[in-house]
Amino acid sequence: MRKAITLIVKAAVSGLLLYFAFKSVDLGTAMARLGQIDFRWIGLGLLLLVVQVALVTLRWHQLILRCGAEIAFALAFRFSLIAGFFNQTLPSSVGGDAVRIWLVAKQSNWRAAAYSVLLDRVVGTVALAMMVVACLPWTFELVHNPTGRLALLVIGPGCIGAGLVFVLLGWERLSILQRWALTRHLAAPAAIGLAIFNAPRTLAAMFGLSFVIHFITAVAAWCAARSVGANLPLLYSVFLVLPVVLVTVVPISIAGWGVREAAMVAAFTYAGLPASDGLIVSLLFGAAYLALGIAGGITWIVTIGRAERRSIPAAALDG
């Protein structure tokens, strides 16, 4: 029952936000642009996203090793592709994370699997928030709307602050956290995160890789814009698309659909760009990740046995 209610609520959120996104644009202009797609740019964007998956896997693989598990990079890459499929088919990306945990746990242990996925999420989100905050002086030159500026000022620093609080949970003097199972299992990966924080070279490598990953996101969105001739300079893509991606981290819709479109339309509008271009870029961007998800689904069917496919934990299906 809870699973059904969650799905219904998130589907309703996606549907409502998509309705408002479509309602706020000139659909005639949008459809005309979509009819003139240059698939060479789409192909380049897809290629960049495949590279992005490989780089995300590289970061995650390093965290797996730090958490005490031993799996090959190629296997972790396959698991990342499969997780991408569940990110697109389950109510939120949390489902894909649960699948990653399940697949790694079958190769090693649940603790290392869960800790590595949690740390990967934290590092990726904090790095994205850092990029959003670093770009604020230039983003504010585009976005003059007070609501848009306030949203940027809240979400970026807020995510960074949340990441710092998480890392501080690993401080050895907070022994009180060992008294309860939940806080104990938060303190353990936080301690690994704190160790990374105290190792400058490792920290720089981890976040440097994350910055490249997120920059690829902006370039892929720029490719989507170029494919339909939308006026979106590459730097504008960095300043506008990355905050939108940060907003979609909140798991309130199905695979980010609706939230991403509404936020992209708002971002383009605030920057004085056509709202229809924002919708087109968002739809093409989402479609590219959907295509990767299909590839992950094929990988799942081909490489995972039928019995194992049926035993995916209910937690993953809850999204």
CA distances from 233 to 43, 121, 218, 226, 275 (A): 19, 29, 10, 9, 15
pLDDT at res. 311: 57
How far apart (Å, rounded) are the C-alpha atoms in residues 71 and 97? 17
Please tell me which residue, 279 or 9, carries the higher pLDDT value: 279
Residue 90's nearest CA partner among 319, 285, 257 is: 319
Domain hosting residue 86, numbered range = 2-318
Cβ-proximal residues to 279 (8 Å cutoff; 6+ apart), any chain: 21, 22, 25, 30, 261, 264, 265
Q: Does residue 65 surpass a pLDDT of 80?
A: yes
Residue 206 pLDDT more than 50? yes
Average pLDDT over residues 64-83: 93
For 231-242, what is the mean pLDDT?
A: 93
What the block records as the tokens of 56 is 């995300």
Q: How confident is the model at residue 315 (pLDDT cuts 50, 70, 90)?
A: very low
The confidence band for 67, taking pLDDT boundaries of 50, 70 and 90, is: very high
What's residue 254's pLDDT?
72
| Residue 69 confidence (pLDDT) above 70 | yes
The one-letter code for the residue type at 126 is V
110 or 1: which carries more pLDDT confidence?
A: 110
Higher pLDDT, 33 or 145: 145
Q: Can you tell me the mean pLDDT for 7-12? A: 72
Q: What is the pLDDT of residue 304?
A: 72
The answer to whether 150 and 170 have CB atoms below 8 angstroms apart is no
What mean pLDDT value characterizes the chain?
85
Q: What's the number of domains the chain is made of?
A: 1
Q: What confidence score (pLDDT) does residue 186 get?
A: 79
Grouping H, G, I as helix, E, B as strand and the rest as coil, residue 273 is: coil
pLDDT of residue 179: 62
pLDDT tops 80 at residue 275: yes
- The predicted-structure confidence for 280-311, as pLDDT tens digits, reads as follows 989 898 899 999 999 998 998 888 765 565 55
- pLDDT of 199 > 80? The answer is yes
More confident residue, 253 or 96: 96
**So what's the pLDDT on residue 3?**
62
Give the span between the Cα atoms of 30 and 248, in whole angstroms: 23
Q: Which two tokens stand for residue 62?
A: 């390093």
Residues 6+ apart with CB under 8 A from 249: 125, 128, 159
- Cβ 119 vs Cβ 189: under 8 Å: yes
Residue 319's pLDDT is: 47
Mean pLDDT over 218-244 rounds to 93
pLDDT digits (tens, 9 = 90+) for 143-198: 888 888 898 899 999 999 999 988 888 777 666 666 656 667 778 888 899 899 88
Quick check: 64 pLDDT over 80? yes
**Cα angle, residue 64 at apex, residues 289 and 96 outer, rounded to 5°:** 30
Sign of the torsion angle spanned by Cα atoms 125, 127, 133, 139: negative
Q: How confident is the model at residue 59 (pLDDT cuts 50, 70, 90)?
A: very high
User: 78 near 298, Cβ under 8 Å?
Assistant: no
pLDDT above 70: residue 94:
no
Higher pLDDT, 312 or 99: 99
Burial of 297 (0-12, 13-18, 19+ CB in 10 A): middle
Sign of CA dihedral 143, 147, 150, 151: negative
Residue 4 has pLDDT above 70, yes or no: no
